[in-house]
Structure 1
């Protein structure tokens, strides 16, 4: 770190830096608060979506107990073919958004499989989609948590390091300049007295 210069230009520079720091701190803090609010909303969404997945699983168990029948092959009946993620800019943070989901249902003959398979395919389709949405929502929470951590570090840097250092430097320079001014006044009075005596 460069040694602090104890002069008027350094004082002006420190004042300008302090003004800049104090100008940006409120906007950084506001961004931090907004990100924390978005993270809280995202956590609530994850909980709601996870509850929906749990409800769907209970509904499958309750409405379709025939799934326990191992004679009917339902493996690969419903599968996730592909999905596309987009980005959403929230308070300067890019969050993943589920743009498109493509779920494939294996063709089957209603004459060969029992009638309840139609209900199972619908429930499995909904469950697959809901689980994917939960995963994306959890990714959003992770991204928001990292963003909150970074912005909190910046707020702390400004609030606890840069602003106090700038204030301390300004105080140190002012004291030095005041001492120098006082010393020059004293020197001029001594010189004036010596001239008067001579």
Structure 2
């Protein structure tokens, strides 16, 4: 920390800094609270996507035990052809959002495949879309967490370092200037006494 000049201009500068810090701190605190709420929502969205994927897997395993039969090839029935992502601004932080997921279903013969393959294809489409959605939700969560961490660091910098330092510097300058004023008064009295004698 640089040594502070103990004069009136330094005092005014420190007072201006303190005023600025106190003006921005509430806005930063509000941003941090909003980001924390958004982070909680993002965390819930990731958990919800995971639970939906698990539920689909459970439904498929319960309703289609015949998938264990390796004679029927169900590989490559569904694949993602395109994912369109957009951007959303959350309290100054840009995060991705899924706008569209395009899924392609491979052609298969209804005569050579069992009837339950249609049900499987629908579940696979839903599962693929959910996986893409979950990946984007996880990315959103990471971005919001990073922004929350940065904003929290700034709040701590203002509230625990800059504001206390400015208050301390102001007090130090005021004490020094008060001492100098007292010394000037004492010197004036001494001079007056010497002149009178």
Query: After TM superposition, is the score higher than 0.5?
Result: yes
Q: Distance in 2 between matches of 1:91 and 1:65?
A: 48
| CA positional deviation for 1:189 | 0.8
Classify the secondary structure of the residue corresponding to 2:81: strand
Where do 1:62-141 residues align within 5 Å? 62-141=62-141
Could you tell which deviates more after superposition, 170-179 or 135-144?
135-144
1:81 alignment partner, SS class = strand
Correspondence 1:44 to 2:39: no
Post-superposition shift, 1:66?
Answer: 1.8
1:19-69 CA distance string (max 9 Å, x none): 000111111011001100110111111111111000000111111122112
How far apart, CA to CA, are the structure 2 residues paired with 1:133 and 1:53?
A: 11
Q: Secondary structure at the match of 2:112?
A: coil
Which residue of structure 2 aligns with residue 154 of structure 1?
A: 154
Instruction: Give SS of 2:84's match.
Output: strand
Aligned to 1:11: 11
TM-score by length of 2: 0.97
Tell me the matched-pair count: 197
Q: What is the rounded CA distance, in whole Å, between the counterparts of 1:119 and 1:65 in structure 2?
A: 13
1:68-109: CA deviations, max 9, x gaps? 121111110111112122111001111110111011100112
What whole-Å deviation, never above 9, does each CA across 1:132-165 have from its counterpart, x for those lacking one?
Answer: 1111111111111111111111000001100000
* TM-score between the two structures when normalised by the length of structure 1: 0.97
> Match of 1:193?
193
Unaligned runs of 5+ in 1: none
Distance 2:179 2:71 in 1: 96
User: Any stretches of 5+ residues in structure 2 without a counterpart?
Assistant: none
CA RMSD of aligned residues (A): 0.9
CA distance in 1, matches of 2:65, 2:81: 27
TM superposition shift of 1:9: 0.7
